[in-house]
Chain A
């Protein structure tokens, strides 16, 4: 009797282990197959509208041609990566879009910045923010973002901040400055 129940328990453990192992194996396989498409889709739906706004006149798919650049390491030693979206004409990169982050009034403001090979700002688009609706959120309006057009990345940024939204305006400016900094640092890799 004791031997029987022992055998039953071993059988139960063995079968459950087998089922779980088979399931884990299958799932890791599916995960590896779908990893690349999922990343593509996520970037496409979240970032593509902003990339389309700041880049024009390209004939490639900037999302598909994206490059990863390691900008540093976080506190655990893992690399911090950013995506660079190149705009190409006949295979030649003439501009890039990349995202910079700056501290606004409430958390980080994400700004997609388009920069041409000659070092000119093409346009910017706010990708994410949680600024006060109606006050800080005005930084997403064209009247503010259009000021960044055609500025040179070599010079000091001269922008009229929004009255009542100083922190938000500064957040956008520091996000743009960060993006410019990345382009400056990794110029050879990007173009």
Chain B
């Protein structure tokens, strides 16, 4: 597969929360607004890209018996870096994402890519893979968050009280707060999954 293929596969064919149905805990928990989803996605992308790069660079050096331990140390280091930087420069986002930032360590997408891809491929391919999967994850979380925010709050791109984003619904719109609660996350994710499957089926029928 070419570098371009490795990159684009993460954006549609194996887009993490929808196709692989991995990393569901942050996907469902933090996507109450689009910005929160994107913030979580970008933090995960940074960790994924860096851990893929380092795992790939060190893949010939790390003995197979201790590879998982080594991967976890590498991943955990980058997670702490993200946590510190976010607290220092994006305090409110870090307050909102809270425990889900440290929990990136156990996000199975990241360990999965390290084990299944980066430890068997060269650094360039691993970078492309990490970027693609990470971006796919970010887009998924942003879309899911935006849908929930739009229906649950009537706004788009809300960050905090001084950056309220845009109110896009009509004035008599009654916010559908159910969408901001955990069950709303499952419903929104289910509908998106169904839509993606429908599109894939239609494409296959057209192709066949």
Contact = CB atoms under 8 A, between A and B. Distances in A.
Contacts of A20: 73
Given A12-B65, A15-B66, A27 B87 contact: no
A63 to B, nearest CB: 12
B77 interface: yes
A42 B89 CA distance: 10
B63 A38 contact: no
Contacts of A166: none
B97 interface: no
A120 to B, nearest CB: 32
Contact of A26 (B77, B91, B95): B77
Given A16-B73, A30-B80, A34-B88, 20 more contacts: A8-B63, A8-B65, A12-B65, A15-B62, A16-B66, A16-B70, A20-B73, A23-B74, A23-B76, A26-B81, A30-B81, A30-B84, A34-B85, A37-B89, A38-B84, A38-B88, A41-B88, A41-B89, A41-B91, A42-B87
A37 B86 CA distance: 10
A45 B95 CA distance: 10
A27 B81 contact: yes
A82 to B, nearest CB: 22
Interface string A28-41: 00110010011001
A11 interface: yes
A31 B63 CA distance: 30
Contacts of A30: 80-81, 84-85
Contact of B70 (A15, A27, A38): A15
Given A26-B81, A31-B84, A34-B85, A12 B66 contact: yes
Contacts of B91: 41-42, 44-45
A41 B87 contact: yes
Contacts of B62: 15, 19
B61 interface: yes
A15 B77 contact: no
Interface string B3-33: 0000000000000000000000000000000
Contact of A11 (B58, B63, B73): B63
7 tightest A-B contacts by CB?
A37-B88, A41-B91, A23-B77, A34-B88, A34-B84, A38-B88, A38-B87
A41 B91 CA distance: 6
Given A11-B63, A26-B81, A45 B92 contact: yes
Contacts of A42: 87, 91
A19 B73 contact: yes
A27 B63 CA distance: 24
A20 B80 CA distance: 14
Interface in B72-112: 73-74, 76-77, 80-81, 84-85, 87-89, 91-92, 95
B171 to A, nearest CB: 31
B69 interface: yes
